Structure 1
Amino acid sequence: ALGSGTLTVRGMLNRLGTTTALTLNNPIELIGDLVVDGHHDLTLNGAISGEEYLNKQGEATLRLNAANRHEGGVMLSGGKLLLGNSAALGSGSLMVMEKGGSLETTTALTLNNEVKLWEGKLDLSGSEDLTLEGELLGSGMITKSGTGVLTLNAANHYEGGTLLSNGKLLLGNNAALGSGVLQIAKHGTSLATRRALTLNNNIELNADLNVAESSQDMTLNGVLKGKGK
């Protein structure tokens, strides 16, 4: 539909949607901001550049496959963001808005972007391993519902807590879980650390807490409560 050239976005309130599931290979230059809000899944294979941001709205899936270079970040305001490259988010922040959304990857990836949880919930729902090196901050929360390993390596400052309902949560920093409560939601999940760590978070045991055999020494200073063990 767009030919082979670059899609240049200028000004404000620009919207991109499709009438069916599509894959676009065109490069995109964000001189202005771009809202992707269609009801159908969209895959962007072309590199995204520029100073402005990409805003993902609606319940469909937006797949970003390129090593993108845009600086304004990505807003997540609903639906699923599917990443196929460690630089898919460009150099800016991932901003999770009030409606929240889910983040998955098509392969094991490490993301260096800062994650701002603006009251919303970020669901890490993928089956592939994901490492977050950037800081998580804000009043929102994260949920881990995917089967892959989620690794949090930064000294994080998010306040809304962490819900572990599937897979393995691997921590590389004493403050990896921010200041909120860690909720263990389902049996069969596991918690591990990459090195000897002391966690000050309170832990709510709605299911048994399983410390993985591969874990390094772990000290829990927070209050443990709930029906699990």
Structure 2
Amino acid sequence: MSLSPAELFTPQLSFASYSSAFCIADYQDSDFARYAQPLPDKLGRAVAKRKAEYLAGRHCASQALQMLGLPHTVIASADNRAPIWPKGIQGTISHTQEVAMAMVSDDPKVRGLGIDLERKMSDKQERELQTQILAKAEQAAFEQLSKTQSCPLTLIFSAKESIYKALYPVVQRFFGFEAACLIEHSDNQLHFALTETLHETLPQGTRISVYYQLSDELVLTECCLRAAP
């Protein structure tokens, strides 16, 4: 399997990032050695799709870290499957159908990063999944977003994934999509408010903004949690 650099999007957060395209049908276990990444024991019996996505994500992470001047790095996984980044680094990985991306930062003011790549849902999926992803309190903001975007639910789903990834290094526990409520949007950002206190530094009502952009098939969202000034 070849991991080819792919200019999927120009990220709006100004951190080191790297994207790759790949073909799952071409995957072989020997590809891990080809890209100097170990095949984790826990993936030994996984399907090719899972292995290929894991390898592509870790390759992107290693390439992004090299942009910060770090040597080739292996990013292991914690028991909760979260990537274990080098000391002083915040990072995030995302993959969807045969594309992967990673973003990293060594800025000490960055407390967490989150990116998410998603294929756009069909109109049918957007209708069927609304009650699972959207809270009643978000309905008005969702309707406003629907007037300008053809895949509003995909955007919200992706944004909440990015929020989870960005906040997890601080919160250190699972929290659901209901913890962030969409309140408004602009041309390139979705704005949320926390509906519960997730951490002493993230009380209920805290506003979280997420950048978004779309291509013909994909959505990219980006979230950065910074230390208070």
**TM-score higher than 0.5 here?**
no
Interval of TM-score (by shorter of Structure 1 and Structure 2): under 0.3
What TM-score does the superposition give when structure 1 sets the normalisation length? 0.27
Larger Rg, first or second structure (1 or 2) = 1
Q: Which has the higher helix share?
A: 2
Instruction: Tell which has more relative contact order, 1 or 2 (C-alpha 8 A, sep 6+).
Output: 2
